Amino acid sequence: MAVFVLDKRKKPLMPCSEKRARILLERGRARVHRMVPFTIRLVDRLQEDSVLQPLRLKVAPGSKTTGLALVREQETEDADTGEIIRTLAVVTLLELQHRGHAISKALKQRRGHRRFRRNQLRYRPARFLNRKRPTGWLSPSLQHRVDTVTAWVSRLQRWAPVSALSTLLHRFDTQALQNPEISGAEYQHGTLFGYEVREYLLEKWGRKCAYCDAEHTPLTIDHIHPKSKGGSDRVSNLTLACVPCNQRKSNLDVRDYLAHDPKRLARIEAQRKAPLKDAAAVNSTHWALFNRLKDTGLDLEVGTGARCKWNRKRHNMPKAHSLDAACIGPVDGIAHWQQPVLQIKATGRGSYQRTRPTKHGFPRGYLMRSKSAFGFQTGDLVKAIVTKGKKAGVYLGRVAIRASGSFDIQAKNERVQSISHRFCTLIQRADGYGYFWDKIATSQGDAGTGAACAAALSLPGIHAGVSRANG
């Protein structure tokens, strides 16, 4: 895990290791510029006096979570074949969690309130086609995804010398690029054959067996209603099944196979017709995000989802949004990907609503009018050291304030209530996001990743408390 470095004029320099950052802080050569992500500012160096290496920021757009990977790339030429080999070293992994569902829910709530008020005014005429939408308009929940990703690309450009961008847009035909004369059945049975349909089914059925909920096991495509009994090859008739379930089902109809489990049968019948809302959200925003990234003026590389998955499988990397981003484009080798991931959760900056209504719409409580209390705001990152009592310990997370001075602290996996403001120390002001560190679960190197996470979180200030609060 790298630490971002700025020069004394706040221009980005090459990131350094946490050990190097600790030495610079102890010797007085640097100041803490930002806590999360941890950024230091040198007091004795300018960008013009430093050597910068090219860094590439890769973006894997998603409906609920977008993966970001900052990598250092190096191209070498094979002496025997003359082929260009592209190797990457991962600098930082981030995952941005969107709040599109919360925005959609709030808009539906507002629409209900407006409709209720309109029905009380019988004399008010109905409105029809009186609002015009500009070209390229997106709904607020979709526009939020584009804006937050663009905002974090801009932030990372301010903290690191990013010289190029990569994103996912099209599913390019890599077989036709390598062999323009490919055709017929040969075209359909290439290296990436079936990846598009399989990826669709993996997203739709949650990457688990539809008949036994088995996960992390090889999954096969199964016809819900078998072709031998009139079933079709339409995607709505396909599901995922583990090998034992597929063999037991054989050519039985799903109604006969699950006659003993009517609840699962009803769930499968309902899910096979359900649309992929998340896929639709990504398809609606990928062009808008592409144009916003192109407007940055940086070199923009476009990759495909099929090749991204192929790269990840080829290098034995687990499924993760941030690693999907790292695998965009041509990747012949990748290093240092087993490192902690910074989870960034979009939380918003508060609400204008000052009451909490009952189910009938009557107010049941009123919120405090001031947004701050005892020098804290809801959403601030704080560290609380409770020295006595049954809640003694160290807690770090986002704070929810009360006028009484008894705060709640939301850590990674728990919410600690009723912590006095006297025990709280401000770490970072609220910026509309919540932060916590996570590690990628792998079959190899889990202990090493955990050790790296613990070492990284031992930096001065915030890092002294995160490792104890989040384990």
Q: What is the CATH number of the domain that holds 250?
A: 1.10.30
Angle between helices 195-204 and 277-294 (to 10 degrees): 120
Determine the residue type at 430: A
Of 259, 278, 297, the residue that ends a domain is 278
- Evaluate whether residue 396 is within a structural domain: yes
Do residues 277 and 141 touch, judged by C-beta distance below 8 A?
no
Last residue of a domain, one of 247, 278, 309: 278
Indicate whether 268 belongs to any domain: yes
Asked if residue 205 belongs to a domain, the reply is: yes
Instruction: Report how far residue 449's alpha carbon sits from residue 169's, in angstroms, rounded to the nearest whole number.
Output: 31
Please, which residues bridge with residue 130 across strands? none
pLDDT at 445: 37
**DSSP codes of every residue in 374-417:** TTEETT-EEEEEE-SSTT-EEEEEEEE--TTSEEEEE-SS-EEE
Write out residues in the chain with pLDDT < 50, as ranges.
171-180, 187, 191-192, 442-471
Residues 100-113, buried b or exposed e (16+ Cβ, 10 A)? beebeebeeeeeee
Element (H, E) at 419: strand 415-420
| Structural domains counted in the chain | 2
For 395, left (φ over 0), alpha (ψ -120 to 50), or beta?
beta
Residue 457 lies in a domain: no
**Last residue in a domain, options 253, 278, 303:** 278
Domain that holds residue 266: 192-278
Burial class (CB in 10 A: 0-12, 13-18, 19+), 161: middle
Q: Is 464 within the bounds of a domain?
A: no
The Cα–Cα gap between 22 and 458 comes to 9
pLDDT at res. 34: 94
CB 330 within 8 A of CB 301: no
- pLDDT of amino acid 455: 37
* Closest of 391, 444, 381, 385 to residue 412, by C-alpha: 381
Taking the CA atoms of residue 97, residue 103, residue 105 and residue 106 in that order, the dihedral angle to the nearest 10 degrees is 140
Strand pairing class (406-410; 30-34): unpaired
Rounded Cα distance between 157 and 192, Å, is 34
CB 235 within 8 A of CB 194: no
Domain membership of residue 175 (yes or no) is: no
Whole-number pLDDT of residue 184: 55
- Domain annotation covers residue 405: yes
DSSP calls for 41-80 = EESS--GGGS----EEEEEE--SSEEEEEEEEEEEEE-TT
Q: 99 Cβ partners below 8 Å, 6+ apart?
A: 144, 345, 346, 347, 348
Q: What is the pLDDT of residue 110?
A: 84
Distances (CA, A) of 253 to 105, 145, 210, 232, 261: 39, 41, 14, 13, 14
Residue 126, domain member (yes or no): no
Q: Is the peptide bond before 244 cis (omega within 30 degrees of 0)?
A: no
What is the pLDDT, as a whole number, of residue 191? Answer: 47
Q: What is this structure's pTM?
A: 0.76
- Report helix, strand or coil for 326: helix
CA distances 82 to 86, 142, 168, Å, are 13, 45, 28
